[in-house]
Amino acid sequence: MSIDTRDSFTGKFGVIAAAAGSAVGLGNIWRFPYVVGENGGGAFLLVYILFILAIGIPVMMSELIIGRRAQKNVFGAFKALAPKHPYFIIVGIMGVGAAFMILAFYSVVAGWTLEYTYLAVSNNLLTKTSSELSVFFSEFSQSTTGPVIWMVVFMFLTGAIVIGGVQKGIERYTKILMPVLFIIIVILCIKSATLDGAGKGFSFLFKPDFSKVTGKVILEALGQAFFSLSIGMGVIATYGSYIQKKENLFTTAVSVSFADTLIAVLAGVAIFPAVFAFGIDPSSGPGLVFETLPNVFNHMAGGYFFSVAFFLLLVIAALTSSVSLLEVVVAYFAEELGMKRTVATVIATIAITLFGLLAVFSSEMFNFFDKTSSNILLPLGGILISVFVGWVLGKLQVKDELSAHGGKVRMIGLLMIILKIIAPLAIGLVFLNGIGII
């Protein structure tokens, strides 16, 4: 891919698969359950879904509009679309910063997933009891050699795919493998739902207890919505720039958000009944999935096969997301700083890998990267993106882009009100309230 001949996705399914590939990842299967667990369950889930519908989908549409209209990476996009408002490139700067932070801990968790794939293949997972699994996770995640090696392997794979370019690298994998992951999760749900004591898990996930809702819980739900949809930092805008003019951006945003939320909820259904059935603490943090699911594999027919397939596909889901994060940095290096794409990829991959070492060596840094990116950088990016599309681009341009130059656009009035007023105000209030300022 070069500056003058931009790559593009080949068709409707390719676009949705690639954007969904970015959205669906560790955020759905690792982060969503652990954050739900830490924030009290059902009520969090409701607030989360509300944010996806009212803010997530409009912001995702905005990013797609920005990217496709400008045909550039986030930095170039703001400059090209609004030369009179150069300060909006702050979104791009924050986006590159967020990509660094997210990849730093994301690659560590993906590394854990590689370790679990290895354990599953070598049949060292199904032999452990529930308490052995918990001990193993905490010892492993606090060690250094194993996690560092796997993290480096994962970043290497990410860089290798990005070097291949968008179409060949990203689209090919997502199209086939995401549906397979979906089927495996559904099977896990069925198994988990039939465990003894599963009922408690269902009440935890689906029976809202509103006394648990605090300002911090609401901010966590908003942050998780942004993280899971890959919005607020330019990933979706960058992908938008590869989408052909004939594609419908409304349908794309709605389908991707729907698929993403469905997979997160299914991951919750696969995990929480098992959490209660095996007496695990739902608020045990980032290790939740790794401590819980092997127990389910342990109790099911074909456990070996399913455990190998599940962790392997989770690695692949993580790759289709990490690739989108690295792509933001590489597109910036290549298109704004004029580096060759290969050089840009190598430099970005090495720099981020070094940064990621911080998250391996210190759990404080890990948590800092995790929470700062989701709860601060992405929501702030979301405010700027909505303001930009709502006020700077304005209704005429939005309409033109959504209809691919002419034709009818559904719910444009509602979309404009959300982008101009509701989203910036709501995100701002949730943010200030969540960090304790109001």
CB-count exposure of residue 164 (10 Å: 0-12, 13-18, 19+):
middle
Q: How many residues bind ligand PHE (CB under 6 A)?
A: 15
Taking the chain, what is the end-to-end CA distance rounded to the nearest angstrom?
Answer: 47
Q: Interface with ligand PHE by CB under 6 A: which range of 50-58, 76-84, 133-141, 321-329?
A: 321-329
Of the residues 28, 158, 174, 257, which one makes contact with ligand PHE according to CB under 6 A: 28
Of the residues 189, 316, 325, 416, which one makes contact with ligand PHE according to CB under 6 A: 325
Does residue 320 bind ligand PHE (CB under 6 A)?
A: no
Of the residues 230, 241, 345, 386, which one makes contact with ligand PHE according to CB under 6 A: 230
CB of 150 to ligand PHE, least distance (A): 17
> Cβ contacts of residue 408 below 8 Å, gap of 6+?
none
Closer by beta carbon to ligand PHE, 195 or else 329 = 329
Three-state SS letters, 177-220: HHHHHHHHHHHHHHHHHCCCCHHHHHHHHHCCCHHHCCHHHHHH
CB of 418 to ligand PHE, least distance (A): 21
Q: Interface with ligand PHE by CB under 6 A: which range of 118-126, 244-252, 295-303, 319-327?
A: 319-327
Decide: 386 and 62 in contact? Cβ < 8 Å.
yes
Rounded to the nearest angstrom, the gap between the alpha carbon of residue 392 and the centroid of all alpha carbons in its chain is 27
CB of 102 to ligand PHE, least distance (A): 5
Of the residues 17, 55, 235, 348, which one makes contact with ligand PHE according to CB under 6 A: 235
Q: What is the DSSP string of 126-163?
A: TT--HHHHHHHHHHHHH-SHHHHHHHHHHHHHHHHHHH
Does residue 227 bind ligand PHE (CB under 6 A)?
A: yes
Q: Interface with ligand PHE by CB under 6 A: which range of 20-28, 38-46, 193-201, 284-292?
A: 20-28
Decide: 95 and 236 in contact? Cβ < 8 Å.
no
Place of tokens 């052995």: 132
Alpha carbon separation from 402 to 54, 146, 241, 278 (Å, rounded): 18, 47, 14, 49
Closer by beta carbon to ligand PHE, 114 or else 325 = 325
Does residue 20 bind ligand PHE (CB under 6 A)?
A: no
> Pattern 48-87, binding to ligand PHE, x per CB under 6 A?
----------------------------------------
Decide: 241 and 73 in contact? Cβ < 8 Å.
yes
Does residue 26 bind ligand PHE (CB under 6 A)?
A: yes
Place of tokens 């919005």: 231
Does residue 240 bind ligand PHE (CB under 6 A)?
A: no
Does residue 321 bind ligand PHE (CB under 6 A)?
A: yes
CB of 227 to ligand PHE, least distance (A): 5
Which two tokens mark 434?
A: 């969540």
Of the residues 14, 21, 27, 58, which one makes contact with ligand PHE according to CB under 6 A: 27
Q: Around 332, how many Cα atoms within 13 Å sit in the side-chain half-sphere? A: 24
Does residue 23 bind ligand PHE (CB under 6 A)?
A: yes
Residues binding ligand PHE (CB under 6 A): 22-23, 25-28, 102, 227-228, 230, 233, 235, 321, 324-325
